[in-house]
Amino acid sequence: MKNSIYLIIFAAFLFSSCDNNGPITPDIRTDFSDVLSNLGNNVIVPTYADLKKGATTLAESSILLAQDPTETNLLATRQAWMEARIPWEQSEGFLLGPADAEGLRNSIDSWPVNVNDLNNILNSTINITDEYLETQGKALKGFHVMEYLLWGESGNKSIVDFKPREYEYLAEAAVILSADIATLTNLWLPDEGNYVQFLLTVGNNNIFASQKSAIEKIVEGLVIIANEVANIKINDPLSTQDLTLEESRYSSNSKADFINNMYSIQNIFKGQYAGEGNGKGISTIIVSKDAELNTKIRELIEQTILKIEVIPGTFSEAIFADPQSITEVQRSVNNLRGLLQTDVGAVISKL
Protein backbone atom coordinates (compact mmCIF):
# COMPACT_ATOMS: atom_id res chain seq x y z
CA MET A 1 0.00 0.00 0.00
CA LYS A 2 2.80 2.42 0.89
CA ASN A 3 4.52 1.80 -2.44
CA SER A 4 1.27 2.50 -4.31
CA ILE A 5 0.78 5.77 -2.49
CA TYR A 6 4.36 6.88 -3.27
CA LEU A 7 3.86 6.03 -6.95
CA ILE A 8 0.68 8.10 -7.07
CA ILE A 9 2.38 11.06 -5.39
CA PHE A 10 5.42 10.81 -7.68
CA ALA A 11 3.19 10.61 -10.78
CA ALA A 12 1.25 13.65 -9.62
CA PHE A 13 4.56 15.53 -9.11
CA LEU A 14 5.71 14.67 -12.63
CA PHE A 15 2.39 15.74 -14.09
CA SER A 16 2.39 19.05 -12.23
CA SER A 17 5.99 19.69 -13.33
CA CYS A 18 5.12 19.41 -17.01
CA ASP A 19 3.32 21.54 -19.53
CA ASN A 20 2.81 21.20 -23.25
CA ASN A 21 6.50 21.97 -23.78
CA GLY A 22 7.81 19.20 -21.51
CA PRO A 23 9.18 19.13 -17.96
CA ILE A 24 10.03 22.35 -16.13
CA THR A 25 13.62 22.64 -14.90
CA PRO A 26 13.75 22.63 -11.08
CA ASP A 27 14.67 25.93 -9.39
CA ILE A 28 18.34 25.40 -8.55
CA ARG A 29 20.01 28.17 -6.55
CA THR A 30 23.00 29.78 -8.24
CA ASP A 31 26.46 28.92 -6.97
CA PHE A 32 28.29 32.08 -5.85
CA SER A 33 31.51 30.42 -4.74
CA ASP A 34 33.41 32.29 -7.46
CA VAL A 35 32.22 35.61 -6.00
CA LEU A 36 33.22 34.69 -2.46
CA SER A 37 36.56 33.31 -3.62
CA ASN A 38 37.38 36.46 -5.59
CA LEU A 39 36.36 38.80 -2.78
CA GLY A 40 38.38 36.85 -0.25
CA ASN A 41 41.53 36.15 -2.25
CA ASN A 42 41.68 39.17 -4.56
CA VAL A 43 40.06 42.02 -2.61
CA ILE A 44 40.15 41.46 1.15
CA VAL A 45 43.53 39.72 1.53
CA PRO A 46 45.41 42.14 -0.81
CA THR A 47 43.90 45.13 1.00
CA TYR A 48 45.20 43.84 4.31
CA ALA A 49 48.56 42.99 2.75
CA ASP A 50 48.93 46.60 1.59
CA LEU A 51 47.87 47.79 5.04
CA LYS A 52 50.58 45.66 6.62
CA LYS A 53 53.21 47.09 4.27
CA GLY A 54 52.04 50.63 4.97
CA ALA A 55 52.11 50.11 8.74
CA THR A 56 55.62 48.67 8.55
CA THR A 57 56.82 51.70 6.59
CA LEU A 58 55.11 54.01 9.09
CA ALA A 59 56.84 52.29 12.01
CA GLU A 60 60.23 52.52 10.31
CA SER A 61 59.69 56.19 9.52
CA SER A 62 58.55 56.97 13.08
CA ILE A 63 61.60 55.29 14.57
CA LEU A 64 63.87 57.23 12.21
CA LEU A 65 62.14 60.47 13.19
CA ALA A 66 62.77 59.70 16.86
CA GLN A 67 66.41 59.01 16.13
CA ASP A 68 66.90 61.94 13.75
CA PRO A 69 64.24 64.62 14.41
CA THR A 70 64.35 66.79 11.29
CA GLU A 71 61.60 68.55 9.35
CA THR A 72 62.32 66.24 6.41
CA ASN A 73 61.78 63.14 8.52
CA LEU A 74 58.66 64.65 10.07
CA LEU A 75 57.16 65.25 6.62
CA ALA A 76 58.10 61.73 5.55
CA THR A 77 56.43 60.23 8.62
CA ARG A 78 53.28 62.26 8.03
CA GLN A 79 53.21 61.01 4.45
CA ALA A 80 53.69 57.43 5.64
CA TRP A 81 50.77 57.89 8.05
CA MET A 82 48.47 59.11 5.26
CA GLU A 83 49.53 56.29 2.92
CA ALA A 84 48.97 53.62 5.57
CA ARG A 85 45.57 55.16 6.21
CA ILE A 86 44.41 54.45 2.64
CA PRO A 87 44.19 50.64 2.83
CA TRP A 88 42.84 50.86 6.37
CA GLU A 89 39.91 53.02 5.29
CA GLN A 90 39.44 50.78 2.25
CA SER A 91 39.13 47.82 4.63
CA GLU A 92 36.33 49.35 6.69
CA GLY A 93 33.66 47.90 4.42
CA PHE A 94 34.61 44.38 5.46
CA LEU A 95 35.49 44.45 9.14
CA LEU A 96 33.87 41.05 9.58
CA GLY A 97 35.94 38.44 11.34
CA PRO A 98 39.21 39.14 13.18
CA ALA A 99 38.99 42.95 13.12
CA ASP A 100 36.01 42.87 15.47
CA ALA A 101 36.30 39.40 17.00
CA GLU A 102 39.86 40.00 18.20
CA GLY A 103 39.24 43.63 19.24
CA LEU A 104 41.84 44.84 16.76
CA ARG A 105 39.67 47.49 15.16
CA ASN A 106 39.55 49.56 18.34
CA SER A 107 43.26 49.36 19.07
CA ILE A 108 44.06 50.33 15.47
CA ASP A 109 41.57 53.15 14.91
CA SER A 110 40.05 54.31 18.18
CA TRP A 111 38.61 57.83 18.18
CA PRO A 112 38.70 60.28 19.92
CA VAL A 113 42.19 60.45 21.39
CA ASN A 114 42.38 60.62 25.19
CA VAL A 115 44.50 63.77 25.13
CA ASN A 116 44.43 64.32 28.89
CA ASP A 117 45.79 60.86 29.71
CA LEU A 118 48.27 61.12 26.86
CA ASN A 119 49.64 64.39 28.23
CA ASN A 120 49.81 62.90 31.72
CA ILE A 121 52.03 60.13 30.41
CA LEU A 122 54.16 62.55 28.41
CA ASN A 123 54.62 64.78 31.47
CA SER A 124 55.48 61.88 33.76
CA THR A 125 58.69 59.90 34.23
CA ILE A 126 57.10 56.62 33.16
CA ASN A 127 59.35 54.61 30.87
CA ILE A 128 57.56 54.66 27.52
CA THR A 129 57.93 51.20 26.00
CA ASP A 130 55.75 49.17 23.70
CA GLU A 131 55.09 46.79 26.63
CA TYR A 132 53.80 49.72 28.68
CA LEU A 133 51.63 51.09 25.88
CA GLU A 134 50.17 47.64 25.26
CA THR A 135 48.62 47.86 28.73
CA GLN A 136 47.00 51.22 28.05
CA GLY A 137 43.48 51.87 26.82
CA LYS A 138 42.57 51.86 23.16
CA ALA A 139 42.32 55.69 23.09
CA LEU A 140 46.04 55.90 23.85
CA LYS A 141 47.26 54.02 20.80
CA GLY A 142 46.50 53.56 17.13
CA PHE A 143 46.31 55.80 14.09
CA HIS A 144 44.82 58.82 15.81
CA VAL A 145 47.24 59.04 18.72
CA MET A 146 50.01 59.09 16.12
CA GLU A 147 48.08 61.69 14.13
CA TYR A 148 47.78 63.93 17.17
CA LEU A 149 51.49 63.65 17.91
CA LEU A 150 52.50 64.28 14.29
CA TRP A 151 50.26 67.26 13.53
CA GLY A 152 49.29 68.66 16.93
CA GLU A 153 45.97 70.02 18.13
CA SER A 154 45.83 72.75 15.48
CA GLY A 155 47.33 70.71 12.67
CA ASN A 156 50.34 72.98 12.18
CA LYS A 157 52.92 71.46 14.50
CA SER A 158 56.55 71.98 13.43
CA ILE A 159 59.66 70.10 14.40
CA VAL A 160 60.57 72.71 17.03
CA ASP A 161 57.27 72.08 18.83
CA PHE A 162 58.12 68.46 19.66
CA LYS A 163 59.19 67.37 23.10
CA PRO A 164 61.66 64.46 23.36
CA ARG A 165 59.13 62.15 25.00
CA GLU A 166 56.68 62.73 22.14
CA TYR A 167 59.17 61.12 19.76
CA GLU A 168 59.47 58.17 22.13
CA TYR A 169 55.72 57.76 22.40
CA LEU A 170 55.27 58.14 18.63
CA ALA A 171 57.84 55.46 17.85
CA GLU A 172 56.43 52.99 20.38
CA ALA A 173 52.85 53.65 19.26
CA ALA A 174 53.94 52.99 15.66
CA VAL A 175 55.50 49.68 16.67
CA ILE A 176 52.28 48.60 18.39
CA LEU A 177 50.13 49.74 15.47
CA SER A 178 52.32 47.82 13.05
CA ALA A 179 52.14 44.71 15.25
CA ASP A 180 48.34 44.91 15.57
CA ILE A 181 47.94 45.32 11.82
CA ALA A 182 50.35 42.44 11.16
CA THR A 183 48.24 40.29 13.50
CA LEU A 184 45.05 41.28 11.69
CA THR A 185 46.56 40.63 8.27
CA ASN A 186 48.09 37.30 9.28
CA LEU A 187 44.78 36.09 10.65
CA TRP A 188 43.37 36.40 7.12
CA LEU A 189 46.31 35.00 5.13
CA PRO A 190 45.99 31.42 3.78
CA ASP A 191 49.39 30.41 5.16
CA GLU A 192 48.74 31.98 8.56
CA GLY A 193 45.38 32.29 10.38
CA ASN A 194 43.54 31.50 7.13
CA TYR A 195 40.28 33.26 7.99
CA VAL A 196 39.79 33.68 4.24
CA GLN A 197 39.12 29.95 4.13
CA PHE A 198 35.77 30.54 5.82
CA LEU A 199 34.63 32.40 2.70
CA LEU A 200 35.84 29.56 0.50
CA THR A 201 34.18 26.76 2.47
CA VAL A 202 30.80 28.25 3.37
CA GLY A 203 28.40 25.63 4.61
CA ASN A 204 31.29 23.55 5.91
CA ASN A 205 32.45 25.77 8.75
CA ASN A 206 30.99 27.27 11.92
CA ILE A 207 31.21 30.88 10.68
CA PHE A 208 29.03 30.87 7.56
CA ALA A 209 26.24 28.34 7.30
CA SER A 210 25.67 29.06 3.61
CA GLN A 211 26.74 31.23 0.70
CA LYS A 212 23.70 33.37 1.34
CA SER A 213 24.70 34.03 4.96
CA ALA A 214 28.23 34.98 3.89
CA ILE A 215 26.93 37.35 1.22
CA GLU A 216 24.46 38.87 3.70
CA LYS A 217 27.32 39.50 6.14
CA ILE A 218 29.43 41.13 3.44
CA VAL A 219 26.58 43.41 2.35
CA GLU A 220 25.90 44.25 5.99
CA GLY A 221 29.48 45.52 6.22
CA LEU A 222 28.88 47.86 3.27
CA VAL A 223 25.72 49.20 4.90
CA ILE A 224 27.54 49.75 8.19
CA ILE A 225 30.37 51.81 6.69
CA ALA A 226 27.96 53.86 4.56
CA ASN A 227 25.92 54.62 7.67
CA GLU A 228 29.05 55.47 9.64
CA VAL A 229 30.28 57.92 7.01
CA ALA A 230 26.92 59.65 6.55
CA ASN A 231 25.54 59.67 10.07
CA ILE A 232 28.62 59.73 12.29
CA LYS A 233 31.76 60.86 10.51
CA ILE A 234 29.95 63.59 8.59
CA ASN A 235 26.86 64.26 10.66
CA ASP A 236 28.40 64.64 14.11
CA PRO A 237 30.74 67.57 13.34
CA LEU A 238 28.41 69.07 10.72
CA SER A 239 25.21 69.13 12.77
CA THR A 240 26.94 70.53 15.85
CA GLN A 241 29.62 72.59 14.05
CA ASP A 242 32.00 71.09 16.58
CA LEU A 243 35.34 70.24 15.00
CA THR A 244 36.42 68.17 17.99
CA LEU A 245 33.98 65.56 16.68
CA GLU A 246 35.73 65.35 13.32
CA GLU A 247 37.84 62.25 12.88
CA SER A 248 41.23 62.80 11.22
CA ARG A 249 40.92 66.56 11.77
CA TYR A 250 44.51 67.02 13.02
CA SER A 251 45.87 65.94 9.64
CA SER A 252 42.96 67.35 7.56
CA ASN A 253 42.61 63.84 6.16
CA SER A 254 38.83 63.50 6.61
CA LYS A 255 37.93 63.86 2.93
CA ALA A 256 40.48 61.20 2.00
CA ASP A 257 38.99 58.94 4.69
CA PHE A 258 35.50 59.35 3.23
CA ILE A 259 36.71 58.70 -0.32
CA ASN A 260 38.54 55.55 0.70
CA ASN A 261 35.49 54.35 2.61
CA MET A 262 33.55 54.71 -0.65
CA TYR A 263 36.28 52.78 -2.45
CA SER A 264 35.88 50.09 0.19
CA ILE A 265 32.25 49.72 -0.86
CA GLN A 266 33.14 49.92 -4.54
CA ASN A 267 35.88 47.30 -4.28
CA ILE A 268 33.53 44.76 -2.73
CA PHE A 269 30.69 45.63 -5.07
CA LYS A 270 32.81 45.45 -8.23
CA GLY A 271 35.08 42.62 -7.09
CA GLN A 272 38.33 44.45 -7.75
CA TYR A 273 41.11 46.06 -5.72
CA ALA A 274 44.11 47.97 -7.07
CA GLY A 275 43.89 46.24 -10.43
CA GLU A 276 43.45 42.80 -8.88
CA GLY A 277 40.36 40.65 -8.98
CA ASN A 278 38.25 39.19 -11.76
CA GLY A 279 35.33 41.57 -11.32
CA LYS A 280 33.12 39.04 -9.57
CA GLY A 281 31.64 40.88 -6.60
CA ILE A 282 28.25 41.72 -5.15
CA SER A 283 27.51 43.43 -8.46
CA THR A 284 27.72 40.03 -10.17
CA ILE A 285 24.81 38.83 -8.08
CA ILE A 286 22.73 41.99 -8.37
CA VAL A 287 23.09 42.45 -12.15
CA SER A 288 21.67 38.97 -12.72
CA LYS A 289 18.59 39.84 -10.68
CA ASP A 290 18.11 43.59 -11.21
CA ALA A 291 20.34 45.21 -13.83
CA GLU A 292 18.85 48.66 -13.25
CA LEU A 293 19.64 48.52 -9.52
CA ASN A 294 23.18 47.37 -10.29
CA THR A 295 23.77 50.34 -12.60
CA LYS A 296 22.22 52.76 -10.14
CA ILE A 297 24.55 51.65 -7.33
CA ARG A 298 27.71 51.68 -9.44
CA GLU A 299 26.92 55.18 -10.70
CA LEU A 300 25.99 56.46 -7.26
CA ILE A 301 29.31 55.32 -5.79
CA GLU A 302 31.19 57.20 -8.52
CA GLN A 303 29.05 60.30 -8.07
CA THR A 304 29.55 60.25 -4.30
CA ILE A 305 33.32 60.05 -4.63
CA LEU A 306 33.25 63.02 -7.00
CA LYS A 307 31.09 65.04 -4.60
CA ILE A 308 33.57 64.42 -1.79
CA GLU A 309 36.49 65.42 -4.00
CA VAL A 310 34.93 68.78 -4.89
CA ILE A 311 34.15 69.82 -1.31
CA PRO A 312 36.03 73.14 -1.21
CA GLY A 313 39.08 73.24 1.07
CA THR A 314 39.34 70.88 4.01
CA PHE A 315 36.35 69.23 5.61
CA SER A 316 36.89 71.45 8.68
CA GLU A 317 36.76 74.60 6.55
CA ALA A 318 33.73 73.49 4.54
CA ILE A 319 31.67 72.84 7.67
CA PHE A 320 31.51 76.61 8.11
CA ALA A 321 32.22 77.97 4.62
CA ASP A 322 30.14 75.60 2.48
CA PRO A 323 27.99 73.25 4.58
CA GLN A 324 25.70 72.66 1.60
CA SER A 325 28.45 70.77 -0.23
CA ILE A 326 28.82 68.49 2.77
CA THR A 327 25.06 68.03 3.06
CA GLU A 328 25.03 66.91 -0.58
CA VAL A 329 27.66 64.29 0.19
CA GLN A 330 25.77 63.14 3.26
CA ARG A 331 22.57 62.78 1.24
CA SER A 332 24.40 60.84 -1.47
CA VAL A 333 26.00 58.43 1.01
CA ASN A 334 22.67 57.91 2.76
CA ASN A 335 21.02 57.16 -0.60
CA LEU A 336 23.74 54.57 -1.21
CA ARG A 337 23.18 53.11 2.24
CA GLY A 338 19.46 52.84 1.54
CA LEU A 339 19.97 51.05 -1.76
CA LEU A 340 22.40 48.61 -0.19
CA GLN A 341 20.28 47.97 2.87
CA THR A 342 16.82 47.81 1.32
CA ASP A 343 17.14 47.03 -2.38
CA VAL A 344 20.26 44.87 -2.37
CA GLY A 345 19.09 43.32 0.88
CA ALA A 346 15.81 42.33 -0.78
CA VAL A 347 17.66 40.68 -3.67
CA ILE A 348 20.01 38.80 -1.36
CA SER A 349 17.14 37.62 0.83
CA LYS A 350 15.68 35.76 -2.15
CA LEU A 351 18.84 33.86 -3.05
Q: What residues have CB less than 8 Å from 12, skipping those under 6 apart?
A: none
Residue 20: pLDDT band with limits 50, 70, 90: very low
Q: Which long-range contacts (CB under 8 A, 24 or more apart) does 161-170 make?
A: 162/69, 163/122, 165/122, 165/128, 166/122, 167/65, 167/66, 167/69, 168/66, 168/128, 169/118, 169/121, 169/122, 169/128, 169/133, 169/145, 170/62, 170/65, 170/66, 170/77, 170/146
Q: Indicate the range of 9-23, 105-119, 272-286 predicted with least confidence.
A: 9-23
pLDDT one-digit tens code per residue, 202-223: 999 999 999 999 999 999 999 9
Residues of the chain with pLDDT > 90: what percent? Answer: 89
Domain that holds residue 39: 33-349
Question: Do the domain assignments include residue 38?
Answer: yes
Q: CA 66, CA 114: separation in Å to the nearest integer?
A: 22
pTM, two decimal places: 0.91
Average pLDDT over residues 289-303: 98
Question: Do the domain assignments include residue 107?
Answer: yes
Query: Half-sphere exposure of 205 toward its Cβ, with a 13 Å CA cutoff?
Result: 14
Question: Do the domain assignments include residue 61?
Answer: yes
For residue 23, the cross-strand partners are 18
Question: Do the domain assignments include residue 1?
Answer: no
Q: Terminal CA-to-CA distance of the chain, rounded, Å?
A: 39
Alpha-carbon distances of 225 from 88, 150, 261, rounded to whole Å: 13, 27, 7
The domain total for the chain is 1
Question: Do the domain assignments include residue 22?
Answer: no
- pLDDT value for 29: 53
Q: Is the pLDDT of residue 321 over 70?
A: yes
Question: Do the domain assignments include residue 21?
Answer: no
Residue 304: pLDDT band with limits 50, 70, 90: very high
Average pLDDT over residues 28-49: 91
Question: Do the domain assignments include residue 87?
Answer: yes
Q: Is the pLDDT of residue 21 over 90?
A: no
pLDDT one-digit tens code per residue, 117-142: 999 999 999 999 989 999 999 999 99
Dmax (CA) for the chain in angstroms is: 96
Q: Environment class of residue 219 by beta-carbon count within 10 Å: exposed (0-12), middle (13-18) or buried (19+)?
A: buried
Indicate the Cα dihedral angle 88, 257, 280, 350, nearest 10°. Answer: 110
Q: Give the CATH number of the domain where residue 320 resides.
A: 1.20.1420.20
pLDDT one-digit tens code per residue, 237-264: 999 999 999 999 999 999 999 999 999 9
pLDDT one-digit tens code per residue, 166-177: 999 999 999 999
- State the helix-helix crossing angle for 45-67 and 71-90, rounded to 10 degrees: 160
Q: Is the dihedral of CA 149, 259, 189, 106 positive or negative?
A: positive
Question: Do the domain assignments include residue 5?
Answer: no
